[in-house]
A and B are shown apart, each in its own frame.
Chain A
């Protein structure tokens, strides 16, 4: 978005409730499973009893299996594809290549950033493991054997995998098929006021600079991507069960790519084993399965292997950032600058709203009241898999938060000011909301100091600072580091005038139908990959209708029955679809009033609804009351003449603004000066996601996100060698955190409701992934900052930490650390802490 954003918050009908809306912190627990109650997750019964239904569980009569033949080269011209040896195998039904797809106009597909990606390589391979051909067979093993028999001749070309090298004059041109594309440069983007920022820097007492790489990550959901496509020639209808975070958007895209009219396309996203942004884009495998089903008129299943998932489907991050801060000598920040080199891979396939080529990266002023800000970014093609998905975050917020939270620590160290104190000096004051940032975002609400104070108290901050000092003074073997991150997220994309995916505005929807017997079905346009929607959305309806949560079932993921929605990612489900659910419930409640009036023989304007009891009663006569169950019966059996029968409502919710969850995380680490190993001593996470729907689910979300934040900071990296081979493309080399690496988390919360959201909620699933990496890096740097260390790159493997220790003169020589007790014949290190 531009800095001259002019959108305003227009109150919408039903957005604000007569009674002030739910206030779970004040009076949670009216016992019906509404807002603020720790309702056990409805979906868990089927998950923990093995009755989930994932794409790979789907078996259809006559179903074939698809295996993709992938290029071993990162950059190569395909000279010939010979599938004859595969066809010789018993059970192989077809070998598909780009030529076959060309016949059906399916050889390419659009990416979410309006680039065009080969479904199967037409002329040139642009990244290793790119899809070259597909083998369709009667069973999965035969398909795999067949894929090994497909002979592809390549002319191997020099690859370039590094974004900076890709911009050099002599770099190989990756995308020569694009008109006017003479180099590997994709786009330049900038934000903020350059002149004002330069001025702030010129006048500042202090400036600091730090270069940092947010390494390439993969969301690595436990379930890989897959699809079962089933073309029904009798009805000219294509049904695709697929691992989709956005079934409706995928239906529209499928229709556009295939030419099958949209009402003849059905996308079903059944149970999905984690998405984290990985299942937002469309991948060639889905299209190949659908094309094969169309051609062969049989169902076709395609399921990725783990390494295929990591190596070819949407990666995240890969931003090389240089940050600068200008400040007064007291540490008041006057300006912030950032320049980014963004590796987008072989296609521009980032998953983000169309008008935001760098996502919401321009939230990089963070939680701070900074007058001048300027950011610039260059997107680059390389011979690596395409991506740029929002891995458990809202479109590049993770990179932005990392940048500003690291830079604040760099500034604090430069000035010798406590990192907690420097944050306090710069926070947007709690009375300044709604707040417009220097890059044009309208923050809805926040109380950053309160969250920080709570985290400092929970972490026993001051005593760790003393312990840290003691260890330095005593030259201890293990140094202590304390890291803080006071992050602000931007989620809930988004207002239709700003946000669209492939042209479709990013509203979301809910359709609530109350049955004659008083229970209800809520259908939502978002889909769940484990977030607990079937519980939390039912709680919203329970809260707003006075219904028991057990009487509400939530359906999602089937485009034939659900209202159109844009899907689940960017923490948008609660801010957008959750709002739609609340509004739909309030609409039903309004109609219920008229039925109640009929049943209670009172005037409609005299009917009041009581949030605490959940009942409708005549004003001034609380005894003359009626429950929603009784009203439901009335709607079908005794409906007032003034109303249609039935009791249902639909809402398509276009959010007036984003929501801005925030929090403060404090991490205490021990750094071993001998080995560079990092141990977590304490991990405190205080989150504020506005009004809380289900505290237990929130805590689960926080725990999961913190684990992923630890993976990011300590372990994970998709690496490439110079030939473009992925050397971090499987779980042997791409290290996910396990229970061994995860410390005990202490979680806390503050509540600052969103003023524009119908139930005051903001969204929470991604805060911990966004907020924790800078806290962890700040902690490790903090352990060494007294010796001049200003940065350690992620993942902070022991060798990297040891390099920093060594350069700062802090590393202990192990040979000097071993003393021999000749009499006892034992060797041991000197006793220390």
Chain B
């Protein structure tokens, strides 16, 4: 299945949008059903890992902490997602690798997949942030190719599409809110520092 789309953020320049989209914690908070996103190694155990609580988020967070946890190209991340689709509510143990990150072009490509009882998926995703013509806003373009198998796939696209659309819309809605927060409440110094660190 293929999903793609774009959305615009008036008044949020690409640099700031990039900072938020580079923060696993911001992404986690925006993905409905996502319990954590964390760097993983080969010994990672989904059952034993306990998600960090009370994480500081932008704009209040210490820029160094945020920069430290930002997505790194080549790194593999573990994510635990629980999604309700129709009559099933699988808990997906997902691994995602950031394949490419381009800080200049604001482009990121990731691939991964997840398994839940009786369902599994694999995906390739990407996003790129463009500057709006007025120079003050961003247009974020995204795409995903996903292969879905098992119980969820059996429900068919008429059940899956509304769910995925809802997740995506919630995600960008929430991201937009966080970006706006960052834009409004963070002084230029913090974002510049962050940007340099990234």
Known contacts A156-B122, A733-B156: A725-B117 contact under CB 8 Å: no
B149 touches A72 (CB 8 A): yes
* Chain B window 141-156, contacts with chain A (Cβ cutoff 8 Å), 1 for yes, 0 for no: 0000001111101111
A727 touches B156 (CB 8 A): yes
A245 to chain B, nearest CB (A): 27
Q: List the A residue with the shortest CB-CB distance to B156.
A: A727
Q: Which of A128, A147, A729 is close to B117, meaning CB atoms less than 8 Å apart? A: A147
Q: Which of B129-145 contact A (CB under 8 A)?
A: none
B104 to chain A, nearest CB (A): 35
B153 touches A725 (CB 8 A): yes
B49 to chain A, nearest CB (A): 14
B150 touches A725 (CB 8 A): yes
Interface: A723 (CB within 8 A): yes
Interface: B47 (CB within 8 A): yes
Taken together as a complex, chains A and B put the C-alpha atoms of A240 and B31 apart, in Å, by 49
Known contacts A70-B118, A73-B120: A721-B47 contact under CB 8 Å: no
B87 to chain A, nearest CB (A): 8
Q: Which of A730-746 contact B (CB under 8 A)?
A: 730, 732-733
Q: Which of A711-769 contact B (CB under 8 A)?
A: 721, 723-727, 729-730, 732-733
A128 touches B156 (CB 8 A): no
A723 touches B147 (CB 8 A): yes
B149 touches A727 (CB 8 A): no
Determine the chain B residues whose CB is within 8 A of the CB of A723 once the complex forms: 147-149, 153
Determine the chain B residues whose CB is within 8 A of the CB of A263 once the complex forms: none
* Chain A window 284-322, contacts with chain B (Cβ cutoff 8 Å), 1 for yes, 0 for no: 000000000000000000000001000100000000000
Interface: A85 (CB within 8 A): yes
A72 touches B47 (CB 8 A): no
Determine the chain A residues whose CB is within 8 A of the CB of B47 once the complex forms: 85
Taken together as a complex, chains A and B put the C-alpha atoms of A721 and B150 apart, in Å, by 11
Determine the chain B residues whose CB is within 8 A of the CB of A721 once the complex forms: 153, 156
B148 touches A733 (CB 8 A): no
Q: List the A residue with the shortest CB-CB distance to B93.
A: A151
Q: Which of A72, A147, A724 is close to B119, meaning CB atoms less than 8 Å apart? A: A72
Determine the chain B residues whose CB is within 8 A of the CB of A724 once the complex forms: 149
Q: List the A residue with the shortest CB-CB distance to B151.
A: A72
Determine the chain A residues whose CB is within 8 A of the CB of B150 once the complex forms: 71-73, 128, 725
Determine the chain B residues whose CB is within 8 A of the CB of A151 once the complex forms: 115
* Chain A window 557-583, contacts with chain B (Cβ cutoff 8 Å), 1 for yes, 0 for no: 000000000000000000000000000
Taken together as a complex, chains A and B put the C-alpha atoms of A74 and B147 apart, in Å, by 12
Q: List the B residue with the shortest CB-CB distance to A719.
A: B156
Interface: A162 (CB within 8 A): no
Q: Which of B146-198 contact A (CB under 8 A)?
A: 147-151, 153-156
Q: List the B residue with the shortest CB-CB distance to A733.
A: B156
Determine the chain B residues whose CB is within 8 A of the CB of A73 once the complex forms: 120, 149-150
**Count of CB-CB pairs between chains A and B under 8 Å:** 53
A54 to chain B, nearest CB (A): 25
A43 to chain B, nearest CB (A): 35
Q: Which of A147, A148, A156, A726 is close to B154, meaning CB atoms less than 8 Å apart? A: A726
Known contacts A73-B149, A723-B148: A729-B154 contact under CB 8 Å: yes
Q: Which of A73, A74, A725, A729 has the most CB of B within 10 A?
A: A725
Taken together as a complex, chains A and B put the C-alpha atoms of A156 and B113 apart, in Å, by 12
B94 to chain A, nearest CB (A): 14
Q: Which of A70-114 contact B (CB under 8 A)?
A: 70-74, 85
Determine the chain A residues whose CB is within 8 A of the CB of B154 once the complex forms: 128, 307, 311, 725-727, 729-730, 733
Taken together as a complex, chains A and B put the C-alpha atoms of A530 and B149 apart, in Å, by 37
Determine the chain B residues whose CB is within 8 A of the CB of A726 once the complex forms: 154
B118 touches A725 (CB 8 A): no
* Chain B window 88-129, contacts with chain A (Cβ cutoff 8 Å), 1 for yes, 0 for no: 000000000000000000000000000101111010000000
Interface size class of A (residues with CB under 8 A): 20 to 34
Determine the chain A residues whose CB is within 8 A of the CB of B87 once the complex forms: 732
B147 touches A72 (CB 8 A): no
B101 to chain A, nearest CB (A): 27
Known contacts A128-B150, A723-B149, A725-B149: A72-B156 contact under CB 8 Å: no
Determine the chain A residues whose CB is within 8 A of the CB of B156 once the complex forms: 721, 727, 733
Determine the chain B residues whose CB is within 8 A of the CB of A732 once the complex forms: 86-87, 155
Q: List the B residue with the shortest CB-CB distance to A159.
A: B149
Taken together as a complex, chains A and B put the C-alpha atoms of A74 and B118 apart, in Å, by 12
Taken together as a complex, chains A and B put the C-alpha atoms of A723 and B146 apart, in Å, by 11
Determine the chain A residues whose CB is within 8 A of the CB of B120 once the complex forms: 72-73, 154
A600 to chain B, nearest CB (A): 71
Determine the chain B residues whose CB is within 8 A of the CB of A72 once the complex forms: 115, 118-120, 149-151, 153
Determine the chain B residues whose CB is within 8 A of the CB of A154 once the complex forms: 120
B17 to chain A, nearest CB (A): 34
Q: Which of B122, B149, B153 has the most CB of A within 10 A?
A: B149
B161 to chain A, nearest CB (A): 13
Taken together as a complex, chains A and B put the C-alpha atoms of A427 and B144 apart, in Å, by 61
Q: Which of B47, B87, B119, B154 has the most CB of A within 10 A?
A: B154
A73 to chain B, nearest CB (A): 5
A716 to chain B, nearest CB (A): 16
B47 to chain A, nearest CB (A): 7
Taken together as a complex, chains A and B put the C-alpha atoms of A72 and B117 apart, in Å, by 9
Q: List the A residue with the shortest CB-CB distance to B150.
A: A72
Determine the chain B residues whose CB is within 8 A of the CB of A147 once the complex forms: 117
* Chain A window 37-75, contacts with chain B (Cβ cutoff 8 Å), 1 for yes, 0 for no: 000000000000000000000000000000000111110
B117 touches A148 (CB 8 A): yes
Determine the chain A residues whose CB is within 8 A of the CB of B118 once the complex forms: 70, 72, 148
Determine the chain A residues whose CB is within 8 A of the CB of B122 once the complex forms: 156
Determine the chain A residues whose CB is within 8 A of the CB of B119 once the complex forms: 72
Q: List the A residue with the shortest CB-CB distance to B113.
A: A156
Taken together as a complex, chains A and B put the C-alpha atoms of A10 and B162 apart, in Å, by 67
Determine the chain B residues whose CB is within 8 A of the CB of A71 once the complex forms: 150
A735 to chain B, nearest CB (A): 13
Determine the chain B residues whose CB is within 8 A of the CB of A729 once the complex forms: 154
Taken together as a complex, chains A and B put the C-alpha atoms of A729 and B47 apart, in Å, by 31
B147 to chain A, nearest CB (A): 6
Q: List the A residue with the shortest CB-CB distance to B91.
A: A148
Determine the chain B residues whose CB is within 8 A of the CB of A311 once the complex forms: 154
Q: List the B residue with the shortest CB-CB distance to A722.
A: B147
Determine the chain B residues whose CB is within 8 A of the CB of A128 once the complex forms: 149-150, 154
B84 to chain A, nearest CB (A): 15
Taken together as a complex, chains A and B put the C-alpha atoms of A493 and B147 apart, in Å, by 46
Q: List the B residue with the shortest CB-CB distance to A153.
A: B115
Taken together as a complex, chains A and B put the C-alpha atoms of A732 and B154 apart, in Å, by 10
Taken together as a complex, chains A and B put the C-alpha atoms of A70 and B154 apart, in Å, by 14
Taken together as a complex, chains A and B put the C-alpha atoms of A148 and B118 apart, in Å, by 8
Q: List the A residue with the shortest CB-CB distance to B117.
A: A148
Determine the chain B residues whose CB is within 8 A of the CB of A74 once the complex forms: 149
A815 to chain B, nearest CB (A): 25
Q: List the A residue with the shortest CB-CB distance to B149.
A: A72
Determine the chain A residues whose CB is within 8 A of the CB of B149 once the complex forms: 72-74, 128, 156, 723-725
A728 to chain B, nearest CB (A): 9
Determine the chain B residues whose CB is within 8 A of the CB of A730 once the complex forms: 154
Taken together as a complex, chains A and B put the C-alpha atoms of A146 and B156 apart, in Å, by 27
Taken together as a complex, chains A and B put the C-alpha atoms of A332 and B86 apart, in Å, by 55
Q: Which of B10-52 contact A (CB under 8 A)?
A: 47
Determine the chain B residues whose CB is within 8 A of the CB of A70 once the complex forms: 118
Residue contacts A-B, CB under 8 angstroms, 25 given: A72-B119, A72-B149, A72-B153, A73-B149, A73-B150, A85-B47, A128-B150, A148-B118, A151-B115, A154-B120, A156-B147, A156-B149, A307-B151, A721-B153, A723-B147, A725-B148, A725-B150, A725-B153, A725-B154, A726-B154, A727-B156, A729-B154, A730-B154, A732-B87, A733-B154
What 7 A-B pairs come out closest when comparing CB atoms? A72-B150, A148-B117, A725-B153, A72-B149, A72-B120, A727-B156, A73-B149
> A307-B154, A733-B155 given. 12 additional CB < 8 A pairs?
A70-B118, A72-B151, A73-B149, A128-B150, A148-B118, A156-B147, A723-B149, A726-B154, A732-B87, A732-B155, A733-B154, A733-B156
Interface residues of B (CB under 8 A from A): 47, 86-87, 115, 117-120, 122, 147-151, 153-156
